[in-house]
Structure 1
Amino acid sequence: MNSGRRPRDPQGRRQAILDAALELVIEVGIARTSHRAIAERAGVPLGSTTYYFPTLPDLVAAALEQAAERVRREIRDLAGKIGDGRDVVGALIWMTGLAVGDRQRMLLEYELYLAAVRNDELRELAGLWLHELRTLLAPLIGAGPAAAVGALLDGVILQAMVTGEAPDPDVLEVALTALVGRSAGKSPGVVTE
């Protein structure tokens, strides 16, 4: 006889909690995300959130770590686009377009940035994108230009989030070419114009 109860699915419940946490961080920000709101969104008892994640920072960090895996995949995709380093600028413009086009993800990343200012435990996660980007670009264009490219793209993406306007690809190409072109002597595979 079926009692109407769903079979236990600890991994499914844990994932539902993480998904709900990410949704809420995007919608209301980290500061306004709570165990109660996450439980309600996930459709689980409040005790489930504290069972899997004893503190709210534990829960937020786990949700953001899951989001960080997406960043790692995107950097691997970018590495595939860059290939032999002949079109670093084109690949970076492509990646910037993807980032600007995914407002939800960018809201999550900038929420993480802001939270990391006050929470040392989140700092490593917040810096993941820049670290991965620099690691990918440094062998091709040098460490300094790689850091400058990261700073430029962060600013471009943040401006697009604030204004709601996509960056001008021609302007972005000029700026990136100037940064990447400075390292032409160090990285012969980079094409500069």
Structure 2
Amino acid sequence: MPESDQPAARSRRDPQARRRAIVRAAADLLVEGGGGDITHRRVAERAGVPLGATTYYFTSLDELREAGLQVLVDEIDEFIDYARRVSAGRPREPESLARLLHDYFCDRDRMRSDLALYGATIHRPELHPLALRWFDGMVGLLSDWTDPATARLLAGFADGVGLHVMLRGEPVELDELTRAITALMRSGTAREEAR
């Protein structure tokens, strides 16, 4: 049989790539649905894989949902790492921190991901550690800028601003953010000096 008449050799499948595609599809659907329900079928369609592939890698929807949420958490960790690199060696001034957070809050995709993460975990106490990774990461980052108590206060403030941005769909103004962060950082400095 001539070579052109032979059936094409099947390329070897990459199971890890298939699993990554399924997890990415689950994360994307969680973001699009605000953290709402996903199904094996919808994930399979989005990933471009047979339905059986999703149930092969993830026997339950909870397992699949958690894998998708983990992708969103990994993206938060990437931002925290990025923020550390960007702020390394720079003065620890409120204006610099405000610009960094303002850029974060202006990223609509990131805000949608955060909303999906909170929405999917709010009524699932076993998943709360996933949702708290942003807060804990921010406290770690901000502890390089100020004392730990003020870092927690700033992270809580940033949580609230993020929620405001997500729900209202409008960015916070840089000058307003700068004024608030300046006041919070000064209150922490004053508290430390009073001790």
TM-score (norm 1): 0.86
* Residues 104-113 or 127-136, more deviating: 104-113
Larger Rg: 2
Partner of 2:23: 18
Cα distance change, pair 30–131 in 1 and its aligned pair in 2 (3 A): same
Q: Which of the residues 31, 41, 45 maps onto 1:40?
A: 45
**Does the Cα contact within 8 Å between 1:142 and 1:186 map onto a contact in 2?**
no
Quick one: distance in 2 between partners of 1:139 and 1:29?
A: 32
**Does the Cα contact within 8 Å between 1:141 and 1:186 map onto a contact in 2?**
no
CA offset at residue 94 of structure 1?
A: 2.5
CA offset at residue 74 of structure 1?
A: 1.2
CA offset at residue 23 of structure 1?
A: 1.2
Give the match's secondary structure for 2:189.
coil
Partner of 2:150: 145
Give the match's secondary structure for 1:118.
coil
Which ranges in structure 1 are unaligned for 5 or more consecutive residues?
189-193
Quick one: distance in 1 between partners of 2:43 and 2:169?
A: 28
Partner of 2:127: 122
Q: Structure 2 counterpart of 1:132, which letter?
A: G
Which ranges in structure 2 are unaligned for 5 or more consecutive residues?
1-5
Partner of 1:179: 184
Quick one: distance in 1 between partners of 2:11 and 2:107?
A: 35
**Does the Cα contact within 8 Å between 2:98 and 2:177 map onto a contact in 1?**
yes
Q: Structure 1 counterpart of 2:52, which letter?
A: G
Quick one: distance in 1 between partners of 2:187 and 2:85?
A: 23
**Does the Cα contact within 8 Å between 1:85 and 1:140 map onto a contact in 2?**
no
Q: Which of the residues 164, 173, 188 maps onto 1:159?
A: 164
Partner of 2:57: 52
Quick one: distance in 2 between partners of 1:129 and 1:107?
A: 14
CA offset at residue 151 of structure 1?
A: 1.5
CA offset at residue 139 of structure 1?
A: 4.7
Partner of 1:90: 95
Identity %: 34
The alignment of Structure 1 onto Structure 2 pairs a total of residues equal to 188
Quick one: distance in 2 between partners of 1:57 and 1:88?
A: 43
TM-score (norm 2): 0.85
Give the match's secondary structure for 2:13.
coil
Q: Structure 1 counterpart of 2:82, which letter?
A: D
- Indicate the RMSD between aligned Cα atoms, in angstroms: 2.2
Cα distance change, pair 116–5 in 1 and its aligned pair in 2 (3 A): same
Cα distance change, pair 17–167 in 1 and its aligned pair in 2 (3 A): same
Quick one: distance in 2 between partners of 1:39 and 1:97?
A: 36
**Does the Cα contact within 8 Å between 2:138 and 2:155 map onto a contact in 1?**
yes
**Does the Cα contact within 8 Å between 1:22 and 1:63 map onto a contact in 2?**
yes
Give the match's secondary structure for 1:114.
helix
